[in-house]
Structure 1
């Protein structure tokens, strides 16, 4: 979908405004209808504030209807019936369309337990999570009471809406919904950035297979041309970043053992701040390496 500009949304008819933003909040065009009367908006930030304010002012019955408009996660029946394009893309982005049998059974168990207790679907902004962290969040929230979960669900719906609005409306101001994961390799043997090192980032999983997020080659500054993850939240979860250093040193004629003492270096780390900047550098020689949590 081509993003609308803020100017287009300010100038279009009320009907077109509502149609463009109808699914920012799942199956709830009444939120866009209320925001339409507050035009013109100076930026996407005040536009989102107006939409969120409509939710905050809504009656408890209307807020509950908003919660119930959302689908269960990884529900095969609902997927077959058809999700909104936004929900389908969001669930696919975290891999909920390709679960292992063990993962599917785990999601079915927690979905059923959650609905049995609260009477509405479990809602989380999946683009901020991995499959493992969603399952952990399920378990963490199940002991809550109904009032607490209602409020948590509304907060998660707000996060989902902010990301949808960021994708669908082009504006000079930006909502703070993106994070960044980056790396930098320093060859401390020669005292310079390490160019030409192959790096691979994978997402780890407790119940399924690992998932390759990206592969890249370090540039002349020892960095990748693009962040390992950027322009979106960095999903909460566990990762492994592998650096192919053996080939790098061999190609530079550095004396090495056979086989090399260090060939591929895997670094395992976790992400807990989806909208933050996490920097995972590597300082390496043919015989040692170090890392730290940068930003």
Structure 2
């Protein structure tokens, strides 16, 4: 998806405008056509708000057609037909292609389609594999009217993330979260540099996976956020800190083997656009944490 400035979008012909936004909402160029008539937009937030307003003001049958234009989530043995490049990329990033078929979210997805008559729609970049299945199972308990509204909300979230990748503007959509850490050596009251850190996504479906590795710098922080520039997928995580070598290099007396070698901190993310700071306060014999921001 090549980027385009908002100024160029405002100045483009109607056909070029529609072509540029063709991938923002699945197989629904009529939406881009309506937006073209509302130019100029002063910011990307105004553009996104206009898109949402166009969906919400559409007739119920048009809304239903929009929802049905979205594909089912793909499975390993039965890939969904008609995936756009944007949707295929989002499904792969969520790790759905790495699930074994007996565990695959497709079972709940099929039950959802049978009950409501349209596909289960979720903004995959805001979820882990586990939370996708949990969300689908929870929404299966709803009535059709509620799920129509939920589907439109999710379409809006998907569109916001695609617009964020596509359109260059002075303002920003609030679609990104941030996860950071800090290691503080409580024995001396100073930041702890040189400590290897791993961030692991914990999974009930499939295997846990390491999604970030870093080493703390002179400030006890990592040079970059462990997750940044994207939503924080809803789910469970573990931060692993290797501290024994740090104390050994500073000639701190330790038992053999060290009482604390690798320290795991388990936590959960529930706010994909939130700011999560998960520090480690450590001595050779104890540690603690908290949620900062």
TM-score of the pair, normalised by structure 2: 0.97
Q: Aligned partners of 1:55, 1:283: CA distance in 2, in Å?
A: 48
Q: Which residue of 2 aligns with 1:13?
A: 13
Q: Which residue of 2 aligns with 1:67?
A: 67
The verdict on how the C-alpha distance between 1:77 and 1:287 changes in structure 2, with shifts beyond 3 A counting, is closer
Report Cα offsets for 1:66-106 as digits up to 9, x if no partner.
111111113357736441011011111110122133422xx
Q: Which residue of 1 aligns with 2:205?
A: 207
TM-score of the pair, normalised by structure 1: 0.97
Q: Which residue of 1 aligns with 2:95?
A: 95
Q: Aligned partners of 1:101, 1:139: CA distance in 2, in Å?
A: 17
Q: Aligned partners of 1:100, 1:215: CA distance in 2, in Å?
A: 26
- Equivalent pairs counted in the alignment come to 293
Gaps of 5+ in 1: none
The verdict on how the C-alpha distance between 1:78 and 1:172 changes in structure 2, with shifts beyond 3 A counting, is farther
Q: Aligned partners of 2:66, 2:152: CA distance in 1, in Å?
A: 8
The match for 1:249 among 247, 254, 272 is: 247
Asked if the contact 1:102/1:208 (under 8 Å) is kept, the reply is no
RMSD value, Cα: 1.2
Q: Which residue of 1 aligns with 2:151?
A: 153
What displacement does 1:64 show?
0.4
Q: How does 1:180-219 map onto structure 2 within 5 Å? A: 180-219=178-217
Is 146-155 or 91-100 further displaced after alignment? 91-100
What displacement does 1:188 show?
0.9
SS at match of 1:79: coil
